[in-house]
Chain A
Amino acid sequence: MFNKSQVEVYQNIKAPEELFDKVVSSKPKKTKIYLIPLVSSLAACLVLIFGVATFLSKDFTVDVTFNGQSLTDSVVFYDISPAKAFDMRSSSELCLPIELKLDGKTEISVSEGAVVIDSQRKTSATLEGEVSLIWEIQRTSDFPQCVMTLESSEGKAEITLTQNEADGSFTAKIN
């Protein structure tokens, strides 16, 4: 590609003398830290992380009207008077009317008793939209803790029903 004399010409090229002075008088550059882009990048990352975390941790919420009263998803205690809770049909059963507003398809199951939907008695069912049901639980002297589980693709909620031994009232709680 290049003959010997061309390579020789090339090899004889020397750096100009003034370049030495330029290099020796040069000062090393300090590494610049660009604070504004760094901070804005950090802020953007934090916003993104917060957004994703908020989205992922979004609780499953469901509107529940329990025995005629709204049961929010925060810790709410609701006392049910045994007298009101007794249904006329059966004195040995606790019949709790529940209204649900469900966003999507939600599977409902109960640990004790059964739910009555459209006159059908079930221990679990898949429901959607606005639903009215009655939760029937066997009333015994040793009342167990009863749990109604509501589960959809968005998450899970539980309605827990316990009896207060002191006055025999019931407490409903959703979490």
Chain B
Amino acid sequence: MDNSAGSKLNIEAVYKLYADMLYRVALSELQSDMDAQDAVQDVFIKYMSTTPGFKDSEHEKAWFLRVTVNRCHDILRHRKVRLKFHADSEIAPDTPAPKGQVELFETLSAIPEKYKSVVVLHCLEGLSLQQTADVLKISLSAAKMRLKRARDILREEEKDV
């Protein structure tokens, strides 16, 4: 088996392991299917280009999440017109959004970018707060603070509704 065939198999295996999770995170951050796909594709290209060495699977997962979040933040920074989530536009251009997904993303869109990553990783992806802090390279107390502020914002939103 030549190297390219081996690396193709490797990328397929890694893709199967992380693609859904990374796409979910990217979609939550970017609220755009195309941008989320681009972000995930960029992450895998980076993985193939740098072939980073990982201590264990946790380290690998954290790397993928961190690179995805950073790439999403880059895209958001460069996006001239920030896309807002609409059920009929970006999330599922070919198929209608599943029931509940629209509400979920509407809730997420109310959270400022700075706090959103903590919410997505901790509340939706199920990472512990320490793991979330490690992925985002922030302190545990900063992660807690961001989560609290996101909760406060959502509470305020609920009151207004």
Contacts and interface: CB of A to CB of B under 8 A. Distances in A.
Contacts of B98: 9, 12
Residue in B40, B103, B123, B124 whose Cβ sees the most chain A Cβ within 10 Å: B124
Interface stretch (B41-49, B54-62, B78-86, B131-139): B41-49
Given A5-B100, A13-B23, A13-B27, A24 B12 contact: yes
Contacts of A2: 104, 107, 123-124
A15 interface: yes
A19 B37 contact: yes
A36 interface: no
Interface residues of A, number: 25
Contacts of A16: 23, 33, 37
Contacts of A19: 19, 23, 37, 40-41
Nearest to B155: A1
Residue in A7, A9, A13, A14 whose Cβ sees the most chain B Cβ within 10 Å: A13
A74 interface: no
A6 B100 contact: yes
A33 B48 CA distance: 18
A30 B33 CA distance: 27
Interface string B90-125: 000000001111011001000000000001000110
A58 interface: no
A23 B17 CA distance: 13
A99 B124 CA distance: 88
A56 to B, nearest CB: 41
Contact of A9 (B12, B49, B101): B101
B67 interface: no
Contact of B15 (A7, A10, A18, A20): A20
B48 A13 contact: no
Contacts of B48: 26-28
Q: Which 5 A-B pairs give the minimum distances between C-beta atoms?
A: A15-B23, A28-B48, A9-B100, A28-B49, A15-B19
